[in-house]
Structures are given as structure tokens and as C-alpha cells.
Amino acid sequence: MIGVLNYGAGNLGSVMNALARLGLPAQFVTGPEELQVRRGNNSGSSAGQQYSAIIFPGDGHFATAMEALTAQGYTEAIREWIAADLPFLGICIGLQLLFEQSEEAPPVQGKEIPGLSVIPGRVKKFQGPKVPQIGWNETKGTSRSRLFQNLPERSFFYYIHSYYVVPAEEDWVAAEADYYGTYCSAVERGALTAVQFHPEKSGALGLELLRRWAEVYHVS
């Protein structure tokens, strides 16, 4: 069973519909206690967990989303799940919130609004006359990525965003796209994967990416 985080962000229905089309059982996670990591598991094993994997979707404002996660008690539960190397997929704002800080959430009275700080790096705003980026964009997986292996050489996914992630360490980068310059559009390490685009809105190729994610990380 896949758990889809329901913390008040949008786009949850589209994700659930995509999983249903693939025959992947899923339900909404409605509280942080459902993410409790069963101690004694081997790293990377979901045996004994309520869910075999977690999907962290959503769209919206960085600070608003972090405030919602904090108010609902999700922040530490998400960190512990990822630290246990259990399958996790972030989508759109679910990628950006994994980073340390975003230009979308500037300091308030000199105090920064931090992200989950799972991935070292920051989130920056595109510099160009046409922001946000809305529409299809070619996405190229890196040689280190398991998720993007065997996808078509020219793979297009659907994007809608004004900000992009900048990992502090290059080996986090799993895929890149180009919009006013090349930027990181997906990250991967261990069982943690996150993408800037919306696979659930990217037609047949988006469904194939979700199917491959389930296959690579033994999600059922």
C-alpha cells in the first residue's frame, strides 16, 4: 500500500487517479503517526510498515506548505522515514521542501523559514521574462539515475513552477531540464526520489515513470 501525504496541498486527486490506472493500491496518509518507522527493520525494508512507500505531492507556496507540515506534525515523521531509507517520492513542491531554504520564503524579521533540510542546497527563482514555466519540457536523466534508465532518449514531462532546486552536491542530480539555463529537475539517492515535474499529468510517459518507480523500489 502506497501512502499519499494529505497535508492540505493541491493535486492529490490526480496522483491517486494515476496510481489507480497503474493498479497500485494507495490511500491518503492523514496523520504523522501513520509514518511511524518500525524499529528493528533492516534499512530499506518496509516490512511491518503501514505503507510500502510514501508519495509527497502538492503545489503551492514553500512557506505555506512548510507551515502546514509543521502544524500537522509531519516534519520529523518525514525525516525519519527518509533516514530509514524507505521508498519516498516527492513531486513538485514535494521536491523543493526537501531542501534547506527557498527564495520563495525570504527571511521574516531576519529569521529564515527552513525547509525539511533533508537535501543540502537551496531553491532559487528562474530569472527570465516568462515565469512560471508552464508546459512540456524535455527532461534528460543522468547516467547515475535508476529511475530514468530505459526511458526514451527525448522524454517530455509536464512542468508548472517558478522555482528550481540547486543541490549542494552534484551526485544528487538524477535528471536535468533547460529553462533559462540547465537546472536540476529530479534527485535520487538510496530510496529517496523527487521530481520537479508532474508525472501524474504527463500522459503515458508519466505513468511509465511511476510504474518504473514502483518497480525499482519494489513498491506494491
Q: What is the DSSP string of the chain?
A: -EEEE-SS-S-HHHHHHHHHHTT--EEEE-SGGGG---TTPPTT--TTSS-SEEEE---S-HHHHHHHHHHTT-HHHHHHHHHTT--EEEETHHHHTTSSEETTS--BTTB------SSSEEEEE--SSS-SEEEEEEEEE-TT-STTTTS-SSEEEEEEESEEEEESSGGGEEEEEESSSEEEEEEEETTEEEESS-GGGSHHHHHHHHHHHHHHTT--
CB contact at 8 A, 2 and 51: yes
CATH 3.40.50.880 fits 2-216, yes or no: yes
Q: Look at residue 112 and tell me whether its pLDDT is greater than 90.
A: no
* pLDDT (tens digit per residue) in 168-214: 999 999 999 999 999 999 999 999 999 999 999 999 999 999 999 99
CB contact at 8 A, 81 and 5: no
* pLDDT (tens digit per residue) in 122-177: 999 999 999 999 999 999 999 999 999 989 988 999 999 999 999 999 999 999 99
| Maximum distance among all Cα pairs of the chain, rounded to whole angstroms | 52
State yes or no: cis peptide before 57, omega within 30 of 0: no
Task: Please pick, among 161, 184, 188, 198, the residue that the annotation labels catalytic.
Answer: 198
User: Is 200 annotated in the active site?
Assistant: yes
Instruction: Tell me the angle at which helices 12-21 and 203-216 cross, rounded to the nearest 10 degrees.
Output: 70
Task: Please pick, among 92, 104, 161, 188, the residue that the annotation labels catalytic.
Answer: 92
CB contact at 8 A, 148 and 155: yes
* pLDDT (tens digit per residue) in 45-69: 555 579 999 999 988 899 999 999 9
Answer positive or negative: Cα dihedral of 126, 130, 134, 137: negative
Structural domain spans, the chain: 2-216
Residue 214: predicted pLDDT: 98
pTM, rounded to two decimals = 0.94
Q: Name residue 89's amino acid.
A: L
Q: What would the grid cell of residue 119 be? A: 537535501
Give the angle 124-80-190 at the CA atoms, nearest 5°.
70
User: Is 218 annotated in the active site?
Assistant: no
User: Is 198 annotated in the active site?
Assistant: yes
Task: Please pick, among 169, 200, 215, 218, the residue that the annotation labels catalytic.
Answer: 200
Which one, of 188, 217, 185, lies nearest residue 199 by Cα? 185
At 10, is the pLDDT very low, low, confident or very high (cuts 50, 70, 90)? confident
At 25, is the pLDDT very low, low, confident or very high (cuts 50, 70, 90)? very high
In terms of DSSP bridges, do strands 121-125 and 101-102 run parallel, antiparallel, or are they unpaired? parallel
